């Protein structure tokens, strides 16, 4: 048996990258019946049996670390949250929404990437320093001038990364700068998304420098409804030291007296911007859940 990683699934074939190279595999018939609900998806690590004709059979699905659902991809190690310094402007609330979704997804490393630094005029109000203090690395780049691209490349090495972020911030342009071969693979996908067919898409892992880059848009705001309101504080890393320190448990950190998180905001250990984003996103999650429930009853 050989271990490998599924980098692409197509019809009933799975392309598995092993130390000896790429092997086209089928699933063991019996395996199909007891597979996990989502089945074997790109990113999954599997054990395969090699056949004399050079193809393989997937015998076993190895345990997963995390799973993005739309489109399905497993075992990501890093998300590059991509925004633009201008056109479109970077708004803290939008950044915070993406940060929450990224924390919720269980992907271990989260990097903030600000593209189009060339477009920025005048003093760059670097509110992102607060985010670096929280522990999120920030990479400032320009796909146009090439500024910062080496730093981005070094972050991608050996990781399984996904680029997520709003439309038009320059994700495709950045991939093209990192390595033109990546855009050849993702360009047509972007077209499909624009035509609104992304729900039926499957993700593909593109090998890059000892790791992979995955051609999915990451996550969308629709997924807000799936978040647990009581888990939300946990997705703000700088709130975590205050877990269990509030007078009430659970505490929503909004109206309750004796709230340790609100005290930390007063002492400026938590920024007002992040606390406001927390309150706003809490409302959004509640509203998304009410909408989802209404639809269920219809």
Residue stretches of the annotated binding site for Zn(2+): 246, 251, 253, 259
Backbone angles phi, psi at 192, to 5 degrees: -60, -40
Piece of the chain touching ligand GTP by CB under 6 A; list 4-12, 111-119, 237-245, 252-260: 111-119
Instruction: Give the angle 87-130-268 at the CA atoms, nearest 5°.
Output: 135
Q: Which position among 120, 171, 262, 274 is part of the footprint of ligand GTP (CB under 6 A)?
A: 171
Residue 173 binds ligand GTP, judged by CB under 6 A: yes
Asked if 172 and 213 count as a contact pair (C-beta separation under 8 A), the reply is: no
237 is written with which tokens?
């890393």
* Nearest in space to 64 (alpha carbons), one of 90, 43, 95: 43
Residue nearest to ligand GTP (CB): 170
Q: Is 168 in the site for ligand GTP (CB under 6 A)?
A: yes
Determine which residue in the list 1, 119, 184, 222 makes contact with ligand GTP, applying CB under 6 A: 119
Minimum distance between the CB of residue 144 and ligand GTP, rounded to whole angstroms? 4
Nearer CB in complex with ligand GTP: 175/270: 175
By CB under 5 A, name the one of 203, 251, 277, 281 that touches Zn ion.
251
78 secondary structure, DSSP code: E
Among candidate residues 48, 31, 41, the one with its CA nearest the CA of residue 7 = 41
Q: Rounded to a whole number, what is the distance in angstroms from the first to the last CA of the chain?
A: 50
d(CA 82, CA 170): 8
DSSP calls for 237-253? GGGGGGTT-SSSSS--S
Residues in binding site: 165-173, 246, 251, 253, 259
252 binds ligand GTP (CB under 6 A): no
Residue with tokens 């995955």: 214
How many Å apart are CA 145 and CA 124, to the nearest integer? 17
Q: Are strands 21-27 and 56-61 parallel, antiparallel or unpaired?
A: parallel
In the complex with ligand GTP, the residue whose CB is nearer, 119 or 292, is 119
Report if residue 259 touches Zn ion, rule: CB under 5 A: yes
Residue for token pair 């320093």:
129
CA proximity to 172, closest of 161, 156, 158, 184: 184
Q: Which stretch binds Zn ion (CB under 5 A): 8-16, 68-76, 257-265, 288-296?
A: 257-265
Of 60, 66, 77, 144, the one binding ligand GTP (CB under 6 A) is 144
Q: Pick the piece of the chain touching ligand GTP (CB under 6 A) from 10-18, 57-65, 115-123, 125-133.
A: 115-123
Q: Is 167 in the site for ligand GTP (CB under 6 A)?
A: yes
Contacts of 286 (CB under 8 A, 6+ apart): 229
The nearer residue to ligand GTP, 167 or 230, going by C-beta atoms, is: 167
Decide: is 62 part of the binding site for ligand GTP (CB under 6 A). no
For position 172 contacting ligand GTP by CB under 6 A, the verdict is: yes
CA distance 298 to 282: 25
By the rule CB under 6 A, 116 interacts with ligand GTP: yes
**For ligand GTP, which residue of 42, 43, 170, 218 counts as binding (CB under 6 A)?**
170
Q: Which positions lie near ligand GTP, rule CB under 6 A?
A: 115-116, 118-119, 142-144, 167-173, 190
Residues within the interface to Zn ion (CB under 5 A): 246, 251, 253, 259, 261
């Amino acid at each position: 048996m050989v271990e490998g990683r599924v980098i692409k699934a197509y019809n009933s074939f799975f392309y598995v990258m092993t130390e000896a190279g790429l092997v086209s595999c089928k699933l063991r018939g019996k395996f199909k019946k007891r597979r996990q609900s989502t089945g074997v998806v790109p990113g999954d690590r599997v054990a395969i049996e090699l056949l004399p004709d050079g193809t393989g059979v997937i015998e076993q699905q190895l345990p997963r670390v995390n799973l993005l659902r739309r489109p399905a991809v497993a075992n990501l190690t890093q998300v590059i949250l991509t925004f633009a310094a201008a056109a479109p402007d970077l708004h803290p609330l939008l950044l915070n929404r993406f940060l929450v979704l990224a924390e919720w997804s269980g992907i271990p490393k989260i990097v903030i990437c600000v593209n189009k630094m060339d477009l920025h005029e005048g003093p760059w109000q670097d509110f992102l320093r607060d985010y670096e203090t929280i522990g999120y690395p920030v990479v400032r780049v320009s796909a146009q001038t090439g500024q910062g691209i080496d730093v981005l490349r070094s972050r991608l090495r050996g990781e399984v990364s996904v680029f997520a972020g709003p439309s038009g911030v320059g994700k495709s342009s950045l991939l093209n700068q990192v390595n033109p071969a990546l855009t050849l693979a993702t360009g047509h996908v972007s077209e499909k998304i624009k035509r609104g067919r992304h729900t039926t898409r499957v993700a593909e892992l593109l090998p890059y420098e000892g790791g992979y880059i995955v051609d999915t848009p990451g996550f969308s705001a629709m997924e807000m409804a799936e978040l647990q309101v009581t888990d939300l504080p946990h997705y703000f890393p700088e709130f975590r030291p205050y877990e269990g320190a509030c007078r009430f448990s659970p505490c929503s950190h909004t109206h309750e007296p004796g709230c340790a998180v609100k005290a930390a905001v007063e002492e400026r250990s938590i920024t007002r911007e992040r606390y406001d984003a927390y309150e706003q996103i809490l409302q959004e999650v509640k509203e998304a859940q009410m909408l989802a429930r209404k639809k269920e009853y219809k």
